[in-house]
Structure 1
Amino acid sequence: MAGLPTAEVHHFTYGLITPALAYTLSVLGSLLGLTCTARARKLEPGARRGGWLLLAAWAIGGTGIWTMHFMAMLGFGVRGSAVRYDIPITVASAVIAVGVVGIGLFIVGLGKATAPRVLFGGLFTGLGVASMHYTGMAAVRVDGHITHGRDLVIASVVIAVVAATVALWFTVVVTKPGVIFASALLMGVAVCGMHYTAMAAVAVQERSPAIQLHGATAGTLLIPIIVLVVLVVIMLFYALLSVPKEEDAAARAFLERQHADRLAAERAATAAPAMGARRTRLR
C-alpha cells in the first residue's frame, strides 16, 4: 500500500447531529441498564436477579454501546467513495456488545461484588467492547484500504477498559434515581469518547483501480435498527414500570403477614377444643 495517496476522511458528515444522537442513545441505554441493575441488587441471587441483569445487558450493550456506535458511524465518510457495511459482521459486532456486557454484569452481579470481581469484569468487558468496535470497523467497506494508528488504538482500548470498570462499579453502588442519571451521563461521555478516539486512528489509503463495493448502506440498516431499539426500549420500560414500588411491596408483605397470623390464630382456636376433649377422655 506504500505510495498510495491518503483519502480525506470525515467523521461528522452531517454535522453535530450524529454525535448528539449517539450520545443520547448511550445515555438512554446506560440509564435503563443502571436502573435494571439497581432492581437486580434488591433480589436474592437466582433466576429473577439473572433476568434483570440480562435486561441490563441489552440496555447497556445493545442500546448504550452498539447502537451508539452505529449512530456515530452514520457520520463517517470518505471523499470520493461510498460506504457499505457487511451485514453478517455488523450483526456479529452487536452480539459481541451484548454478550461481553452481559458476562461482565454476571461476574459482578451474581455473587458478592468484590473489588477483584469488578476489576476482572471491567477488564473483560472493556476488551470486549474494544473488540466490538474493531469488529464493526471490519464490516466497513470503502474504496480504499482502512488502517488504524497504533497509539490511538491503544488509547481507545485503555479508555474502554477504564469506562467498563467504572460502569460495573456504578452497577454495584448506584441506587438513587438522581445518581443513576448522573452516572448515565458520565457513561455516555466515556463510551462516546472511546468511539471517537478509535475513529481518530482511522486513515484510508486510496485504492487503484477502484472496485465495486458490496454490502448494505447505512440507510438500509438504519430502519431495522431503529425499530429494534424502539422495541427494546419499550420492553425495558414495561419491565421497569410493571415492578411494584417498594412501598407497595412493603404494604403487600404486611398484609400477607397479617393474613398468615390470622390463619394461624384460627387454627389454634380450632385445635384448642379438640385438645381439651382428648385430655378429658384420657382422665
Structure 2
Amino acid sequence: MTATATVSNFSYGAVTPVAAYLMACLGAALGLRCTTRSMRRVHRRAGWLALGAVSIGCGIWTMHFIAMIGFNVQGTLVGYDTPKTVLSLGVAITVVAMGVFLVGYRGRSPVNLVTAGTVTGLGVASMHYLGMAAVQTGVTLNYDVRTVALSVVVAVVAATAALWAAVSISGVWSSAAASLVMGAAVTAMHYIGMAAVSVHLTGRAVAVQPSVGMLVFLLVMLAGPLAALLFAAIIVMFDPGMMLGDDVWDRPAPAPHIIGATIPAQRREQKP
C-alpha cells in the first residue's frame, strides 16, 4: 500500500525559519558593505569583492541548512551526504563570486546586471537542489515541476536585485534595509522550493522526530560558514568607512589655501 507521507519544514516551529532568515540577512548585509567598499577602494577591489561573495554565499548556504534542521518526513529518518553538502557550499560561494565580480568590474549596466543575476540565481537554485540531493531519507523525494520553476525564477530575481543593490546602494541604513529585503527573497526561494517536495511511502507510516545525530551533523557543518561570517563582520566593523560613515570617510581633504597656516602669507601679499 502506497501512501503520501507528511513533509514538514517546521518541526521546531518558528525557530528555524526565523533563524534562517536572520542568517540570510546577515550574509546580505555584509556582502553589500563589502561590495560598496570595493567601489571606493580600487586597489583592494578584488579582496573586497571576494569577501562580499563569501559573505553572501555563506549567508545563503547557512540559511538553507538552518531551515533544513526543521525538515522532517513522516515515517523515516533524515540524514545527509557529506560530500554533496560541502559541494553545495562551494557552489554557493562560486556562483555568487561570478555575479559579484562581473558587476564589480564591468559595471551596473542592465545587460551586466541581468547576466550576472541570471548566472547567480541559477547557481543559488543549484545550491538549493544540490543540498536537497544530499538529503538521505531512504525514500525518493518527488518534486512538482511548476513549483521548482517558480523557485528558480524567484532565485534569479532575488540575485539580480541583490547585485543591483550591491553596486547602487552605499548608505549604511539603506544597505541594512536592502539586506532585509534580500534575506526575505532568498528565504522565500528556499521555502517555495521545499513546497515542491512530496514523498510516497510504502507500508504504514509512523512519526519520526529529527535525530540527534542529524542535528549534530548540521551544527558541525554550519561551524565553518558561521566562522567565515564572523570574520567578515569583524573586518567590516573595523573598516574606517563603516565606522565613520561613507560621507565622512570619502570627503576630500581641505585645500591647502584654506589652512590657517597659509592665511598670514596671503595677508602679507595684500600689503602695499
Whether these two folds match at TM > 0.5 is yes
Residue 148 (structure 1) shift: 0.3
Alignment partners' CA distance in 1, 2:99 and 2:239: 24
Structure 1 gap ranges (5+): 211-215, 259-283
Match of residue 228 from structure 2: 232
Alignment partners' CA distance in 1, 2:110 and 2:90: 27
Alignment partners' CA distance in 2, 1:218 and 1:173: 41
Structure with higher Rg: it is 1
Secondary structure at 1:144 match in 2? coil
Q: Residue 7 of structure 2: which of 6, 9, 12 is its match?
A: 9
Q: Does the CA contact (< 8 Å) of 2:69 and 2:218 recur in 1?
A: no
Q: Residue 82 of structure 2: which of 77, 87, 94 is its match?
A: 87
**Comparing both chains, which one has the higher relative contact order based on Cα–Cα distances under 8 Å and sequence gaps of 6 or more?**
2
Q: Does the CA contact (< 8 Å) of 1:85 and 1:217 recur in 2?
A: no
Residue 151 (structure 1) shift: 0.8
Secondary structure at 2:136 match in 1? strand
Structure 2 gap ranges (5+): 206-211, 258-272
Match of residue 32 from structure 1: 30
Alignment partners' CA distance in 1, 2:229 and 2:88: 20
Q: TM-score, normalised by structure 1?
A: 0.81
Secondary structure at 1:5 match in 2? strand
Query: Aligned pair 1:164/2:162, yes or no?
Result: no
- Kindly provide the CA deviation profile for residues 223-276 of structure 1, in whole angstroms up to 9, marking residues without a partner as x: 32343234212211222233333646768x779x99xxxxxxxxxxxxxxxxxx
How many residues are paired up? 246
Match of residue 279 from structure 1: none
Q: Does the CA contact (< 8 Å) of 1:83 and 1:217 recur in 2?
A: no
Q: Does the CA contact (< 8 Å) of 1:22 and 1:69 recur in 2?
A: yes
Q: Residue 186 of structure 1: which of 181, 186, 194 is its match?
A: 181
Residue 208 (structure 1) shift: 6.5
Match of residue 55 from structure 2: 59
Residue 184 (structure 1) shift: 0.5
Alignment partners' CA distance in 2, 1:197 and 1:248: 42
Alignment partners' CA distance in 2, 1:6 and 1:95: 34
Residue 52 (structure 1) shift: 0.5
Q: 1:77 to 1:148 in 2, by over 3 A?
A: same
